[in-house]
Structure 1
């Protein structure tokens, strides 16, 4: 690998932290919003005791049923929370990943453990910002949700359940996202080693690598995603006389098993894969484009300065 290819592995040295964060924010918003209807279907299909009107046979049946009986607008309910949360969450996420990937690996390509470790640390920052948005989003997505807007939902949760409700699933979210991102980043880098060993800008390989990484990570962490949805939505079916809310990952796992057995841990897996594959492909494509674009501008500016310097010297 030549020096130019190696430099492309991170954003240009002249780039500020705000540049890293801006590129990451756009990637995150694009990732979550474009495939949002599939995320809505996934949330509904993970319901432990779904309403008869929302007991879907599959992803296609769910989308058709929602379009027909509720309107297309209901497939994007809660998207405002995602836009508000994904921007800052992914800004920190990608900026932290770029910095730590270089630091942990010492600039060495192929150190996939370093990539996984950088992804894990970046995930903690991501989830601190994203968890409250995720709670609001999933409550808006549920069938028969009583909330009209994300703001109304957030205020209602705060008044009736307190601030803790926004982080009731944080441990489970983190337990899911740390292995998810470790698998995600390692799979992405491994796939890039195979498809794009020189690490040149190639939209096709970035998209394919992102899709493969997203699918693998989605399958590996599916049971935790089901439990996270339960903790975020707190369905009435999970409440008994002895417990007001399901608290913690162990209680969530037990509740899912009591209602639906082992298969309950994989409800909505098809919808999640349909969401994650294009979502991660879009995220990486956007981010890699910004890396390429910024490097190109950086190189053009460097060339311009060199030419100007030579012209100034020759005029003397």
Structure 2
């Protein structure tokens, strides 16, 4: 009975729960743009607006939220763990910084890389199921015509039954190659930008809400730009179904065939959608995370946002 209050009273508990709030805010704010990004990466033609019109006309607006259950169900724990792991690693990689001072930029970058690598273990199965759902096509005019349409649990069970645990980790290597460096860029950019916009805020914790939104948004954009070609390859590999002949035998083969058919521009297909989503989502994630630390748990180490400066 005493575990939960004691957990929230600890630094680990606050970081964990605040990270969960950030993850939920990010999923809800950016999922439609994520579906659009996945469709762009998987298709050979079509602009973002053209694909959006086709989805809404043929499958209905709800198709933009298809597959959200899988990441939303796991994202609270996943994002909470990511922020907690980052909080530990960012200091572990540079122990010369005092406990009352913010972690150094070196510790931030290396902690982010370690966080991204470890997070891939949780993220790969979730993204595999999400991508399979997002790429399913349902006839909006005849919603009962396609009995094969499945939810996240059904798809996960099907993958596990036919391919085992190894099937759930299809695309793990490319996910880790994408997430490790991108998380290093992600956390470093956030910490650097927030300090530039509001000098001293890393130590005082008194930045404005707009500082959180802008710094978080730019961190998301920077992390996506640096890893985007790897994300395109990841989508194409995870979209392959075992019931059909495999189009790509691995990362290098997928890269070679994709470029051979569509040119190098295919590696940046959907980048505009991803960048727009990244700014919205990561602004929401960091704002929810920071506000949860300050307001919900009355953390003495993170003073409340000054109400006169909240906008």
TM-score range, shorter chain: 0.7 to 0.9
Count of residues in Structure 1 that have an aligned counterpart in Structure 2: 278
Q: Aligned match of 1:115 in 96, 102, 108?
A: 108
* Structure 2 CA distance for aligned equivalents of residues 230 and 297 of structure 1: 43
Q: Aligned match of 1:63 in 30, 41, 52?
A: 52
Q: Aligned match of 1:83 in 69, 72, 77?
A: 72
2:92 paired with 1:103? yes
Q: Aligned match of 2:221 in 209, 215, 222?
A: 215
Q: String of CA shifts for 1:140-191, please: whole Å, max 9, x gaps.
A: 0014274321111111222233322221211111111111111111111111
2:158 paired with 1:152? no
Q: Could you say which structure has the higher helix fraction? A: 1
Q: Aligned match of 1:234 in 240, 258, 268?
A: 240
Q: How far did 1:76 drift?
A: 0.6
For residue 10 of structure 2, what is the aligned residue in structure 1?
A: 15
Q: String of CA shifts for 1:123-142, please: whole Å, max 9, x gaps.
A: 22322112101000000001
* Structure 1 CA distance for aligned equivalents of residues 279 and 264 of structure 2: 24
Structure 1 runs not aligned, ≥5 long: 1-12, 50-54, 300-316
For residue 310 of structure 1, what is the aligned residue in structure 2?
A: none
Decide which structure has the larger Cα Rg and report it.
1
For residue 81 of structure 2, what is the aligned residue in structure 1?
A: 92
Q: Aligned match of 1:225 in 226, 231, 244?
A: 231
Structure 2 runs not aligned, ≥5 long: 1-7, 139-147, 302-311
Q: How far did 1:294 drift?
A: 5.2
For residue 164 of structure 1, what is the aligned residue in structure 2?
A: 166
TM-score by length of structure 1 reads: 0.81
For residue 141 of structure 1, what is the aligned residue in structure 2?
A: 134
Q: How far did 1:100 drift?
A: 2.1
TM-score by length of structure 2 reads: 0.82
* Structure 1 CA distance for aligned equivalents of residues 106 and 59 of structure 2: 46
